[in-house]
């Protein structure tokens, strides 16, 4: 009786949870059930659960092709480069921002470096196009031509794209990471710096012994979180920025673009689902592992 009364008291709170629960079931849990697709030969008429079982056939097929290696390699290597280069640049800029005097300019710099982060990747693909287009692009017409160099057909030459994609990624997101590191530094007590100065420590010593140690935990946590997502890629960066060009596929195909093309363009549902499940499972293991490490290091920042 008492229990029933207690639950009754909380009834409105349970009602509040309901719309969210329904959405989670539809948007997340039902598709989780749909992973059985990876083990089926999908037939539009028979539906997901009615389609014929084919066991591990889709996986066998996927891992026999060169594609599996290419998309895994691209996804992992790009992410690794992004993590390393991105962190170094963001930490460097954050420290510099912290060392600056002049409140107004500091604010201005912060505002500006964050801006590319909030612009959609579609717009960024136009910015890249303005630079890279063969006939009218800025690189060919304004830089290479005056130097007397032959124009480069950027959108059909794969060897440039690892660099181009890294530059675009850094351009878009270094400000975001920089603001995170910078906000970790704003919290550091200024008295440490003053005390160090009085003791005769120069700028580099102060950065080395005070600033960097204060950034350490943020760097570790953000890196671990990035590592946990290393099997996922920014679809827009790898699909829209290279304009979905077939000539570039070897260096721009990641798991996400592969799944999209399989599903939407090649109509290869089984293979797409197999690649998707491969991504989900490895991603799941990586998140769990990263969380265990974060938890050991800084329990407050752990996801669960």
Segment 167 to 226, residues that bind other proteins, using CB under 8 A: 171, 176, 179-180, 183, 197, 203, 218, 221-222, 225
Per rule CB under 8 A, is residue 33 in the interface with other proteins?
A: yes
Per rule CB under 8 A, is residue 299 in the interface with other proteins?
A: no
Choice between 133 and 254, CB closer to other proteins: 133
d(CA 226, CA 206): 28
Give the chain's radius of gyration (CA, Å): 25
For 21, what's the count of Cα atoms within 13 Å in the CB-facing half-sphere? 6
Name the region of 27 (left: φ>0; alpha: ψ -120 to 50; beta: rest).
alpha
| 94, 116, 169, 258: residue in contact with other proteins (rule CB under 8 A) | 116
DSSP 8-state class, residue 207: I
Least distance in Å: CB of 4 to other proteins?
12
C-beta of residue 173 within 8 angstroms of C-beta of residue 86: yes
C-beta of residue 168 within 8 angstroms of C-beta of residue 123: no
Contacts of other proteins in 11-30 (CB under 8 A): 12-14, 16-17, 19-21, 23-24, 26-30
Per rule CB under 8 A, is residue 156 in the interface with other proteins?
A: no
Per rule CB under 8 A, is residue 150 in the interface with other proteins?
A: no
DSSP 8-state class, residue 149: P
| Three-state secondary structure call for residue 74 | helix
| 100, 195, 212, 266: residue in contact with other proteins (rule CB under 8 A) | 100
d(CA 281, CA 123): 32
Contacts of other proteins in 274-293 (CB under 8 A): 276-277, 279-280, 283-284, 287-288
Per rule CB under 8 A, is residue 247 in the interface with other proteins?
A: no
Contacts of other proteins in 53-92 (CB under 8 A): none
């Amino acid at each position: 009786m008492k229990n029933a009364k207690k639950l009754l008291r909380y009834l409105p709170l349970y009602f509040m949870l309901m719309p969210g629960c329904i959405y989670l079931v539809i948007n997340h849990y039902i598709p989780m059930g749909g992973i059985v697709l990876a083990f089926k030969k999908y037939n539009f008429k028979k539906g997901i659960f009615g389609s014929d079982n084919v066991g591990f056939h889709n996986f066998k097929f996927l891992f026999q092709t060169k594609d599996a290696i290419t998309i895994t390699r691209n996804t992992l290597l790009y992410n690794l480069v992004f993590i390393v280069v991105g962190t170094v640049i963001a930490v460097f800029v954050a420290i510099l921002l912290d060392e600056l005097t002049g409140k107004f300019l500091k604010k201005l710099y912060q505002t500006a470096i964050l801006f590319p982060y909030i612009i959609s990747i579609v717009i960024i693909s136009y910015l890249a196009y303005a630079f890279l287009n063969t006939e009218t692009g800025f690189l060919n017409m304004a830089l290479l031509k005056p130097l007397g160099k032959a124009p480069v057909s950027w959108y059909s030459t794969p060897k440039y794209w690892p660099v181009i994609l890294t530059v675009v990624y850094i351009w878009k997101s270094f400000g975001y990471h920089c603001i995170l590191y910078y906000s970790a530094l704003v919290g550091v007590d200024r008295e440490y710096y003053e005390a160090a100065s009085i003791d005769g420590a120069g700028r580099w010593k102060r950065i080395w012994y005070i600033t960097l140690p204060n950034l350490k935990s943020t760097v570790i946590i953000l890196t671990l979180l990035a590592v946990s997502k290393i099997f996922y890629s920014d679809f827009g960066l790898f699909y829209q920025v290279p304009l979905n060009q077939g000539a570039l596929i070897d260096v721009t195909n990641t798991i996400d673009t592969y799944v999209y093309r399989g599903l939407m363009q090649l109509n290869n549902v089984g293979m797409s689902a197999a690649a998707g499940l491969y991504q989900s499972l490895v991603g799941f293991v990586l998140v769990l592992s990263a969380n265990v490490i974060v938890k050991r290091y800084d329990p407050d920042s752990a996801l669960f």
